Amino acid sequence: MKLAVAGKGGAGKTTFCATAGRLLARRGHRVVAIDADTNPNLHAAIGLGDAVALPPFLPASLVSRRLDGPRLAVSIDEVLHDYAATAPDGVQVMRMGVPEHPDEGCLCSAHATVSAVMAELGAEPGIVTVLDLEASPEHLSRGTARDADLLVLIAEPYFRSLEAVRLQASLAAESSIGRTVVVANKCRTDSDRAAIVEFCDRNGLDLVGMLPWSDNALDADAATQPLLDHAADDPMVDAIGAALDEAGLPALLGGDD
Protein backbone atom coordinates (compact mmCIF):
# COMPACT_ATOMS: atom_id res chain seq x y z
CA MET A 1 0.00 0.00 0.00
CA LYS A 2 1.51 3.29 -1.09
CA LEU A 3 0.55 6.63 0.36
CA ALA A 4 2.00 9.80 -1.20
CA VAL A 5 1.76 13.24 0.40
CA ALA A 6 1.97 16.48 -1.58
CA GLY A 7 0.98 20.14 -1.36
CA LYS A 8 2.50 23.60 -1.35
CA GLY A 9 5.76 24.33 0.46
CA GLY A 10 5.37 24.70 4.21
CA ALA A 11 1.82 23.29 4.22
CA GLY A 12 2.76 20.53 6.64
CA LYS A 13 3.57 17.58 4.34
CA THR A 14 6.60 16.42 6.30
CA THR A 15 4.89 16.81 9.69
CA PHE A 16 1.98 14.77 8.33
CA CYS A 17 4.21 12.03 6.85
CA ALA A 18 6.33 11.69 9.95
CA THR A 19 3.34 11.49 12.27
CA ALA A 20 1.20 9.30 10.00
CA GLY A 21 4.10 6.92 9.38
CA ARG A 22 4.69 6.39 13.06
CA LEU A 23 0.97 6.12 13.88
CA LEU A 24 0.61 3.41 11.21
CA ALA A 25 3.62 1.60 12.65
CA ARG A 26 2.00 1.77 16.09
CA ARG A 27 -1.09 0.16 14.56
CA GLY A 28 1.11 -2.82 13.71
CA HIS A 29 2.04 -2.13 10.08
CA ARG A 30 5.52 -2.34 8.60
CA VAL A 31 6.16 1.21 7.41
CA VAL A 32 8.78 2.52 4.99
CA ALA A 33 8.93 6.32 4.72
CA ILE A 34 10.72 7.87 1.75
CA ASP A 35 11.87 11.47 1.76
CA ALA A 36 11.44 12.53 -1.88
CA ASP A 37 12.18 16.19 -1.23
CA THR A 38 15.44 17.51 -2.65
CA ASN A 39 15.60 19.56 0.54
CA PRO A 40 15.37 16.53 2.82
CA ASN A 41 14.12 16.92 6.39
CA LEU A 42 11.80 13.98 7.06
CA HIS A 43 14.56 12.32 9.09
CA ALA A 44 14.38 15.10 11.69
CA ALA A 45 10.57 15.19 11.81
CA ILE A 46 10.31 11.42 12.25
CA GLY A 47 12.99 11.18 14.93
CA LEU A 48 16.17 9.78 13.42
CA GLY A 49 18.16 11.25 16.26
CA ASP A 50 21.84 12.03 16.42
CA ALA A 51 22.57 8.50 17.62
CA VAL A 52 21.45 7.01 14.30
CA ALA A 53 23.49 7.59 11.13
CA LEU A 54 21.40 9.19 8.41
CA PRO A 55 20.65 6.80 5.57
CA PRO A 56 22.72 7.36 2.42
CA PHE A 57 20.82 8.94 -0.47
CA LEU A 58 19.34 6.46 -2.94
CA PRO A 59 21.78 6.39 -5.89
CA ALA A 60 20.57 6.34 -9.48
CA SER A 61 22.81 3.30 -10.06
CA LEU A 62 20.12 1.16 -8.34
CA VAL A 63 17.91 1.47 -11.37
CA SER A 64 17.99 0.30 -14.95
CA ARG A 65 15.88 2.39 -17.32
CA ARG A 66 13.75 0.20 -19.55
CA LEU A 67 11.19 0.92 -22.20
CA ASP A 68 8.38 0.09 -19.77
CA GLY A 69 9.82 2.33 -17.05
CA PRO A 70 12.60 2.27 -14.46
CA ARG A 71 13.26 -1.04 -12.66
CA LEU A 72 15.47 -1.85 -9.71
CA ALA A 73 18.70 -3.61 -10.67
CA VAL A 74 18.97 -5.16 -7.17
CA SER A 75 16.44 -6.69 -4.78
CA ILE A 76 14.28 -4.45 -2.59
CA ASP A 77 15.67 -6.27 0.46
CA GLU A 78 19.18 -5.15 -0.52
CA VAL A 79 17.95 -1.59 -1.01
CA LEU A 80 16.33 -1.58 2.42
CA HIS A 81 19.42 -3.12 3.98
CA ASP A 82 21.81 -0.61 2.44
CA TYR A 83 19.73 2.59 2.26
CA ALA A 84 17.22 2.57 5.13
CA ALA A 85 17.72 3.74 8.71
CA THR A 86 15.30 2.77 11.46
CA ALA A 87 13.36 5.54 13.19
CA PRO A 88 11.26 5.28 16.38
CA ASP A 89 8.35 2.81 16.21
CA GLY A 90 10.40 0.82 13.69
CA VAL A 91 9.71 3.03 10.67
CA GLN A 92 12.37 2.51 7.99
CA VAL A 93 13.45 5.78 6.40
CA MET A 94 15.03 6.25 2.98
CA ARG A 95 16.06 9.42 1.17
CA MET A 96 15.90 10.38 -2.51
CA GLY A 97 19.13 11.57 -4.12
CA VAL A 98 19.81 15.30 -3.97
CA PRO A 99 21.89 17.56 -6.26
CA GLU A 100 25.57 17.24 -5.37
CA HIS A 101 26.96 19.99 -7.57
CA PRO A 102 25.71 23.23 -9.10
CA ASP A 103 24.70 23.06 -12.78
CA GLU A 104 24.46 19.27 -12.73
CA GLY A 105 21.17 19.29 -14.61
CA CYS A 106 17.79 17.72 -13.97
CA LEU A 107 16.97 15.20 -11.28
CA CYS A 108 15.13 12.74 -13.51
CA SER A 109 17.26 9.81 -12.40
CA ALA A 110 16.70 10.56 -8.70
CA HIS A 111 12.92 10.62 -9.28
CA ALA A 112 13.09 7.46 -11.42
CA THR A 113 14.93 5.71 -8.58
CA VAL A 114 12.20 6.56 -6.09
CA SER A 115 9.56 5.47 -8.58
CA ALA A 116 11.27 2.09 -9.01
CA VAL A 117 11.68 1.65 -5.25
CA MET A 118 8.00 2.52 -4.73
CA ALA A 119 6.91 -0.03 -7.33
CA GLU A 120 8.91 -2.80 -5.63
CA LEU A 121 7.72 -1.86 -2.15
CA GLY A 122 4.13 -1.88 -3.42
CA ALA A 123 4.59 -5.43 -4.62
CA GLU A 124 5.65 -6.53 -1.11
CA PRO A 125 2.62 -7.59 0.92
CA GLY A 126 2.18 -5.91 4.27
CA ILE A 127 4.41 -2.88 3.67
CA VAL A 128 2.95 0.61 3.91
CA THR A 129 5.08 3.11 1.99
CA VAL A 130 4.74 6.78 2.94
CA LEU A 131 6.19 9.14 0.34
CA ASP A 132 6.98 12.72 1.40
CA LEU A 133 7.02 14.74 -1.83
CA GLU A 134 8.41 18.16 -2.58
CA ALA A 135 6.20 21.16 -3.16
CA SER A 136 6.53 21.32 -6.93
CA PRO A 137 3.94 19.45 -9.02
CA GLU A 138 6.91 17.95 -10.88
CA HIS A 139 6.58 14.68 -8.97
CA LEU A 140 3.30 14.26 -10.83
CA SER A 141 4.70 15.17 -14.24
CA ARG A 142 7.71 12.91 -13.64
CA GLY A 143 5.57 10.08 -12.33
CA THR A 144 7.45 9.75 -9.02
CA ALA A 145 4.17 8.99 -7.27
CA ARG A 146 2.51 7.24 -10.22
CA ASP A 147 1.80 4.02 -8.37
CA ALA A 148 0.38 5.55 -5.21
CA ASP A 149 -2.85 4.00 -3.97
CA LEU A 150 -3.66 7.19 -2.11
CA LEU A 151 -2.45 10.77 -2.66
CA VAL A 152 -2.98 13.10 0.29
CA LEU A 153 -2.82 16.79 -0.64
CA ILE A 154 -2.12 19.04 2.33
CA ALA A 155 -3.73 22.49 2.08
CA GLU A 156 -3.45 25.57 4.22
CA PRO A 157 -6.52 27.78 4.40
CA TYR A 158 -5.37 30.45 2.00
CA PHE A 159 -5.94 30.84 -1.73
CA ARG A 160 -2.46 30.10 -3.12
CA SER A 161 -2.14 26.92 -1.08
CA LEU A 162 -5.59 25.76 -2.14
CA GLU A 163 -4.86 26.59 -5.77
CA ALA A 164 -1.68 24.49 -5.62
CA VAL A 165 -3.75 21.59 -4.30
CA ARG A 166 -6.37 22.05 -7.02
CA LEU A 167 -3.65 21.89 -9.72
CA GLN A 168 -2.06 18.79 -8.23
CA ALA A 169 -5.48 17.10 -7.86
CA SER A 170 -6.24 17.74 -11.53
CA LEU A 171 -2.87 16.24 -12.58
CA ALA A 172 -3.45 13.27 -10.27
CA ALA A 173 -6.89 12.69 -11.81
CA GLU A 174 -5.19 12.00 -15.17
CA SER A 175 -2.67 9.62 -13.60
CA SER A 176 -2.94 6.06 -12.33
CA ILE A 177 -3.04 7.21 -8.69
CA GLY A 178 -5.84 5.33 -6.90
CA ARG A 179 -7.57 8.02 -4.85
CA THR A 180 -6.77 11.66 -4.13
CA VAL A 181 -7.91 13.35 -0.93
CA VAL A 182 -7.34 16.73 0.72
CA VAL A 183 -6.32 17.28 4.34
CA ALA A 184 -6.54 20.87 5.55
CA ASN A 185 -3.82 21.99 7.97
CA LYS A 186 -3.17 24.94 10.26
CA CYS A 187 -6.90 25.65 10.66
CA ARG A 188 -7.34 28.35 13.28
CA THR A 189 -10.78 29.84 12.89
CA ASP A 190 -14.29 28.95 11.75
CA SER A 191 -13.72 31.07 8.68
CA ASP A 192 -10.55 29.03 7.86
CA ARG A 193 -12.60 25.86 8.05
CA ALA A 194 -15.50 27.31 6.05
CA ALA A 195 -13.13 28.57 3.32
CA ILE A 196 -11.59 25.11 2.91
CA VAL A 197 -14.96 23.35 2.81
CA GLU A 198 -16.27 25.83 0.25
CA PHE A 199 -13.15 25.54 -1.95
CA CYS A 200 -13.20 21.75 -1.88
CA ASP A 201 -16.96 21.62 -2.62
CA ARG A 202 -16.60 24.04 -5.52
CA ASN A 203 -13.71 22.10 -7.06
CA GLY A 204 -14.94 18.59 -6.40
CA LEU A 205 -12.09 17.84 -3.97
CA ASP A 206 -12.50 15.09 -1.39
CA LEU A 207 -11.80 16.73 1.99
CA VAL A 208 -11.07 14.02 4.60
CA GLY A 209 -9.61 15.95 7.51
CA MET A 210 -8.92 19.30 9.13
CA LEU A 211 -5.82 19.56 11.28
CA PRO A 212 -5.86 22.34 13.85
CA TRP A 213 -3.18 24.98 14.24
CA SER A 214 -0.58 23.55 16.63
CA ASP A 215 1.94 25.58 18.59
CA ASN A 216 3.44 22.21 19.56
CA ALA A 217 4.19 21.43 15.90
CA LEU A 218 6.17 24.65 15.64
CA ASP A 219 7.91 24.09 18.99
CA ALA A 220 8.78 20.50 18.04
CA ASP A 221 10.28 21.73 14.78
CA ALA A 222 12.34 24.35 16.61
CA ALA A 223 13.58 21.65 19.01
CA THR A 224 14.28 19.25 16.05
CA GLN A 225 11.91 16.76 17.59
CA PRO A 226 9.02 14.76 16.18
CA LEU A 227 5.62 16.13 17.16
CA LEU A 228 4.79 12.67 18.52
CA ASP A 229 7.71 12.80 20.95
CA HIS A 230 7.32 16.46 21.83
CA ALA A 231 3.56 16.42 22.52
CA ALA A 232 1.94 13.05 21.86
CA ASP A 233 -1.41 14.34 23.11
CA ASP A 234 -1.52 17.33 20.76
CA PRO A 235 -4.92 17.43 18.99
CA MET A 236 -3.09 17.53 15.64
CA VAL A 237 -1.88 13.95 16.25
CA ASP A 238 -5.42 12.61 16.75
CA ALA A 239 -6.63 14.61 13.76
CA ILE A 240 -3.95 12.99 11.55
CA GLY A 241 -5.06 9.52 12.69
CA ALA A 242 -8.69 10.43 12.01
CA ALA A 243 -7.82 11.76 8.54
CA LEU A 244 -6.07 8.46 7.70
CA ASP A 245 -9.21 6.58 8.69
CA GLU A 246 -11.49 8.92 6.76
CA ALA A 247 -9.24 8.55 3.70
CA GLY A 248 -9.96 4.82 3.76
CA LEU A 249 -6.56 3.60 4.96
CA PRO A 250 -7.96 0.71 7.02
CA ALA A 251 -9.79 -0.68 3.97
CA LEU A 252 -6.72 -0.20 1.76
CA LEU A 253 -4.69 -2.07 4.35
CA GLY A 254 -7.10 -4.97 4.35
CA GLY A 255 -9.43 -3.80 7.10
CA ASP A 256 -7.15 -5.09 9.82
CA ASP A 257 -6.98 -1.90 11.87
Question: Counting contacts by CB under 6 A, is residue 138 touching ligand ADP?
Answer: no
Judged by CB under 6 A, the chain residues 182 through 211 that form the site for ligand ADP are: 185-186, 211
Instruction: Tell me the DSSP string of 82-106.
Output: HH-EEPGGG-EEEEE----STT---
Q: C-alpha dihedral over 146, 147, 152, 155, to 10 degrees?
A: -10
Give the x/- contact pattern for ligand ADP in 143-182, rule: CB under 6 A.
----------------------------------------
| Shortest Å, Cβ 156 to ligand ADP | 9
Name the nearest CA neighbour of 47 among 111, 100, 92, 99: 92
Q: Determine contact, residues 121/32, Cβ cutoff 8 Å.
A: yes
Judged by CB under 6 A, the chain residues 18 through 37 that form the site for ligand ADP are: none
| Shortest Å, Cβ 37 to Mg ion | 5
Among 15, 129, 168, 180, binds ligand ADP (CB under 6 A): 15
Among 4, 6, 8, 14, binds Mg ion (CB under 5 A): 14
Q: Which is nearer to ligand ADP, 76 or 107 (by Cβ)?
A: 107
Question: Counting contacts by CB under 6 A, is residue 12 touching ligand ADP?
Answer: yes
Instruction: Tell me the DSSP string of 164-200.
Output: HHHHHHHHHHTSS-SEEEEEEEEE-SHHHHHHHHHHH
d(CA 187, CA 212): 5
Interface residues with ligand ADP (CB under 6 A) are 7, 9-15, 185-186, 211, 213-214, 217-218, 221, 236
